[in-house]
A and B are shown apart, each in its own frame.
Chain A
Amino acid sequence: MPKAIVTYVRSVDYVSEKFGLLAMYLIFMMIGVLLLNTVTRNILNIPLHWCIEMAQFTLAAYYTIGGAHSLQLGDHVRMDLIYDRLSEIGKARMDVATSAFLIFYLCTLLFGSISSMNYAIETNQRNFSMWNPSMIPIKVIMVFGIALMLAQALSTLFKDIAKARGEAIQ
């Protein structure tokens, strides 16, 4: 494999892993915010209307930013009726052949998210609610997460190509 590709794979894997680590711990933010809401609403009787929305934003950040790392860990299920009977090299070949689907889907997501982000920036879009927060930050985060997922999909593709040719990048 050319050196540039090896460098690409290593750096993308590194970045995905670090952001994955960040995303993992967002679960505590969701728990914390919702717990705060439970306590203030039921016990202190001071309803905080931003909590649920904050948790929603966190969830969106959680799965978009964590997506790349979950791809890296191979946590996404496959229908393995045929796939499971292939050898390791056969699996890699199959993945190379079908990776275009994954990449096409991620590209449309990326285009869509960028266009949605631009709209939010141009119109200074706010969420229609009592808290009325700006939608720009979460859209920027989601664009970043999807872009990272796409970068990781390419990195995985390079690794699969290497594996299909009987080499290994590491």
Chain B
Amino acid sequence: MTHELIAITMFGTMLVMLLTGQRVFAAIGFVAAGTALLLYGQGAIEMPFNAAFKLFNWFPLLTLPLFVFMGYMLSESGIADDLYKMFHVWFGNIKGGLAIGTIGLMVVISAMNGLSVAGMAIGASIALPEMLRRGYDKVMITGVIQAGSSLGILVPPSVVLVLYGMIARQPVGQLWLAGAVPGLMMATLFIVYIAVRCRLQPHLGPTLSREELDVPFAEKLRLLSAGIIPFLIFFCMTGLFVMGITSLVESSAVGATGALLAAFVRRRLTFAVIHQTVKKTLGISCMFLWIILAALAFGAVFDGIGAVRAIESLFITRWELTPWQVLLMMQLSYIFMGMFLDDTAMLVIVAPLYVPLVIALGFDPIWYGVLYTITCQIAYMTPPFGYNLFLMRAMAPKEVSLADIYRSIVPFVLVMTFGLILVMAFPQLALWLPGLVYGR
């Protein structure tokens, strides 16, 4: 068998195995272990386990469980309740204002946490029931929460960019800053979409009743103080890291402690809350880490058969693509594979194949990290395989059906694709801020 054929067989087997509904990590790990044994014989028995030591050396991954913990802790701490009330009062008199406020809430949550889990948990437990009660269109708000929470991986801090930074060997500080402007731009695009849509179809997002809006101005100002704790957490975590005071893993520990303190100050820190939080954290973190473990073994086998060069020769020598065509092919293949393959596994398996090519073609790896992350955001939301879809299904109230969830993402995926094109066309959107801060 030629190496290309082995690579294709491996991928094909994995996709078929994933279709059977076996746990993702088991499907990937089986193909990796099986191929290693077939190709290299008994000597390869340690190969799958050695991935654990690669993972061990990727110590920035320590941020993953800490961010998961922090996300759940923040949603339990009740600071999101105040924030929601603030956005509610300030935006309530606009058509679709609560949905716009929810995007604002999601931006604040995203600035405190690097995953979409926190935003989903808060969105589904606080924003969704409130908006449903006020007659908002369920399809629209389901989309709002999924799209809004996906900002968690683009707005700094971001776990996806940490993982990308390890694979591409790029500084995480610059990657995080590069995600800031595109993240805010994406949030703005969402808001514009909601505002226009609700202006055209006011029944989708009715304004609040007059009694509810009749809040004295002093009270309105007081509600702004809900932003203080999130700002402090953002400053202690991302701020101190970007200034070079704390290291990456240290900053995630600071963030986790910040969330604990926030819960303590608000008297929500009971034993039951702590126990539920650590339990959910273990589940989600183990899911991610076992997938990464299996995907690293898969990647090692892939690397061993020279898949990087195979793709390079396919794209450049055989198809004679220009650099931009190669880039476009990569993004399209990500979206295509993202339908079948788990998004974390995709990053671990596919990014090592593409990143060297991106650099060889003369593109900026920091900018590409942002493109990659936006593609990931889209993949998180597109069926059949997307974390946000899974989470939404698990958390959504009864009146939101599976069909509603699937339908809800369509306009937002289009908006995100538009955002992706903007960042592709204007790399400065991503590169301006890191250039300003680090003087690149």
The interface of chain A, by Cβ under 8 A from chain B, is 20, 23-25, 27-28, 30-31, 34-35, 37-38, 41-42, 52, 55-56, 59-60, 62-64, 66-67, 69-71, 73, 75-84, 86, 91, 94-95, 97-99, 101-102, 104-105, 108-109, 111-113, 115-116, 142, 146
Contact = CB atoms under 8 A, between A and B. Distances in A.
Given A105-B48, A112-B49, 16 more contacts: A34-B249, A35-B253, A35-B254, A35-B257, A76-B287, A76-B290, A77-B387, A82-B19, A91-B21, A94-B21, A101-B17, A109-B29, A109-B49, A113-B52, A115-B45, A116-B46
Interface string B362-391: 000000000000000000000011010010
Contacts of B294: 105
Given A70-B282, A108-B37, A95 B22 contact: yes
B269 to A, nearest CB: 13
Nearest to B249: A34
A64 B292 CA distance: 13
A56 B279 contact: no
Interface stretch (B62-70, B308-316, B318-326): B62-70
B20 A97 contact: yes
A63 B290 contact: yes
Nearest to B389: A80
B20 A94 contact: yes
10 contacts: A27-B282, A35-B250, A52-B59, A56-B62, A101-B27, A102-B30, A105-B294, A108-B49, A109-B49, A111-B45
A116 B286 contact: no
Contacts of B387: 77
Nearest 6 Cβ contacts at the A-B interface: A83-B21, A112-B49, A75-B283, A34-B253, A70-B286, A105-B29
Contact of B282 (A31, A64, A69): A69
A99 to B, nearest CB: 8
B278 interface: yes
Contacts of B49: 108-109, 111-113, 115-116, 146
Chain B interface residue bracket vs A: 35 or more
B122 interface: no
Contacts of A37: 250, 253
A116 B385 CA distance: 35
A31 B66 contact: yes
Interface in B337-375: 340, 342
B19 A23 contact: no
Given A76-B24, A77-B390, A79-B384, A112 B249 contact: no
A78 B23 contact: yes
Contacts of B249: 34, 52, 55
Interface in B263-278: 278
Interface in B7-38: 17-27, 29-30, 32-34, 37
A37 B249 CA distance: 10
A105 B297 CA distance: 11
A62 B65 contact: yes
A109 B55 CA distance: 14
Given A30-B66, A42-B245, A105-B30, A67 B290 contact: yes
Contacts of B252: 34
B162 to A, nearest CB: 14
B23 A77 contact: yes
Nearest to B61: A59
B45 A24 contact: no
Contacts of A116: 46, 49-50
Nearest to B293: A63
A55 B281 contact: no
Nearest to A74: B283
A24 B48 contact: no
A35 to B, nearest CB: 5
Interface in B182-224: none
A17 to B, nearest CB: 11
Contacts of B33: 104-105, 108-109
B45 A112 contact: yes
A116 B45 CA distance: 10
B93 interface: no
A27 B290 contact: no
B284 interface: yes
A49 B291 CA distance: 30
B246 A38 contact: yes
Given A52-B249, A63-B289, A104-B30, A27 B59 contact: no
Given A78-B22, A105-B33, A112-B49, A67 B254 contact: no
A80 B402 CA distance: 13
B66 A27 contact: yes
Given A34-B250, A91-B21, A115-B46, A55 B59 contact: yes
